[in-house]
Chain A
């Protein structure tokens, strides 16, 4: 028996739905925005479709323009999406050393040294 392509594709689709629900089921509110932005970048994968279509032979001029426009839009989605997400997350990243009590060199005397440990109840000023 040979399973037809559409059945295989539907199976893949359904599995992807469950994975999609599963991977983000417990995301903190704080990260809703970056996560939205990150998934926004991922659906830029439509660029792959645009490249395939734009790369088909024997196109009339206007349809080639349409396909190339799709490539342009897809590229902006991908590049812009990942860069915006990275910028957003950069805001969080800078806090990490302070929070994780790692060695914080070079900022002595500054507030950054403060909670060397999350258990410290009050922050030294």
Chain B
């Protein structure tokens, strides 16, 4: 077996590893293993590449890698859980940038002799340069929006689509000119710069709330750029891995759009959340309605005497890092009611299992039975599929705070429960509980499935201020007579609530 065959086989192992990784990432139990298999596959591919015959500059490559690897690892470790979406955007952009630079230096290898580039290689270089640059610039803008370095609101101006369309056409024409024989580096660099500009202009008009979908799309783009690089270098591992990401990323993007009941075109070109401020509020017909604000003590009493409380977490919870306090509050509420809620206790059947035997928990079962008989408030968590800034964001945060899995209810499971819920405690969630999505056809989020918290007997909204949410849309829920607002940082508010509940 020749050396190049051995390398080819190693690449095949990498491809298998990546496919398994994706497969395993689709299920919660196998996902951590899947990620490690993917990392192993990557290590094999990198090792095989170094074994390639005729590779020069070993040391400079190795030194660059040894310097940049800890930077990537440090950034990934240092970032807070709440800032994960930005970090994914950043790493994605970096990958796109790498693809564009590979295309540029590869073009240089063949450029000195015009006409030497074969059509397939030429097209691949152009695609890799274009898509990689768009992904790089677009991801940086997405990062800026999520990090709130630039406004999360859509940035729009008249004729925007026309300008973007014209720029894209110009870029394609430029690429064709290069392919047709004008193989000058200056043109390729102009192409790269134009593509960077397009990446910025393409993401600017998209609202911050849609960034997860955009990042997913740009992720697929970077995959495509990597696959194009594979055609340039005649390298199967690049073609397959890049295209795997391109295809699965596209599907994932569509699934995310579906979770919000919006088409991809609507996300990309709808300038979501731009007009709303006036229309949504007016259409809801809220003249004269006022916001009812409560103190932490009032809410504490309400919570303490409620029979069933549903917590609706949102981005505000993430920002304030209030998940641990929410958990403590929930514990308190569950412990409380021991004396108050006795009357409400219904029949409880305890079904002991294997874990009980192993843990020798029979004594606890006795205590437990006593407690259950007196138990008052049942606390569950209603998780909207797109609560937070990424699907699954809330699950990750609440899992970090050790909230028991069964208490996390998905939207379909949670919604029928609201009519018999005494208090819906909305913590920093906004658009996902906005009744306009159900009733106001003029609202940009009309048709998006929401959590029907307004069907609860009482709604408590913990929020920093009356400012509209991330999508920039007014929310008539806040003006609902059954709603009370508890203004302030979610963490502070929940801490106060804990204090008050203890004293009820």
Interface code B366-384, partner A: CB below 8 Å = 1, 0 otherwise? 0010011001000000000
Is B95 close to A, CB under 8 A?
yes
| Contact call B358/A125, Cβ cutoff below 8 A | no
| Contact call A83/B72, Cβ cutoff below 8 A | yes
Is B39 close to A, CB under 8 A?
yes
| Contact call A49/B246, Cβ cutoff below 8 A | no
Is A56 close to B, CB under 8 A?
yes
Per a CB cutoff under 8 Å, which of A21, A48, A124, A125 touches B247?
Answer: A21
Residues of chain B contacted by A37 (CB below 8 angstroms):
84, 88
| Contact call A23/B229, Cβ cutoff below 8 A | no
**A125 to B: closest C-beta gap in Å:** 5
Chain B residue with Cβ nearest A106: B359
Residues of chain A contacted by B52 (CB below 8 angstroms):
52, 55
Is B25 close to A, CB under 8 A?
yes
Which of chain A's residues 38-76 have a Cβ closer than 8 Å to chain B? Answer: 38-57, 59-60, 63-64, 66-76
**B495 to A: closest C-beta gap in Å:** 20
Residues of chain B contacted by A71 (CB below 8 angstroms):
61, 64-65, 68, 98
| Contact call B71/A76, Cβ cutoff below 8 A | yes
| Contact A92 to B240, CB < 8 A, known contacts A43-B245, A86-B32 | no
| Contact A63 to B108, CB < 8 A, known contacts A45-B238, A117-B351, A124-B371 | yes
**A27 to B: closest C-beta gap in Å:** 4
Residues of chain B contacted by A38 (CB below 8 angstroms):
21-22, 25, 31, 34-35, 38
Per a CB cutoff under 8 Å, which of B225, B241, B391 touches A33?
Answer: B391
Residues of chain A contacted by B233 (CB below 8 angstroms):
49, 52-53
Tell me what chain B mostly uses at the interface: helix, strand, loop, or mixed.
Answer: helix
A contacts, CB < 8 Å to B: 5-6, 9, 12-13, 16-21, 23-57, 59-60, 63-64, 66-96, 98-105, 107-109, 111-125
**Chain A to chain B: the 10 pairs with minimum beta-carbon distance, closest first:** A20-B247, A116-B355, A117-B353, A80-B72, A83-B76, A32-B391, A79-B72, A76-B72, A70-B101, A124-B368
B contacts, CB < 8 Å to A: 14, 18-19, 21-23, 25-29, 31-32, 34-36, 38-39, 42, 45-46, 49-50, 52, 54-58, 60-61, 64-65, 67-73, 75-77, 79, 81, 84-85, 87-88, 90-92, 94-95, 97-99, 101-102, 104-106, 108-109, 120, 212, 215-216, 219, 222-223, 225-227, 229-249, 251-252, 255-256, 259, 331, 334-335, 348-356, 358-361, 364-365, 368, 371-372, 375, 385, 390-393, 395-397, 399-400, 402, 404-407, 410
8 example contacts (A-B, Cβ-Cβ < 8 A) are as follows A46-B95, A53-B105, A55-B55, A71-B64, A74-B95, A89-B35, A109-B364, A125-B335
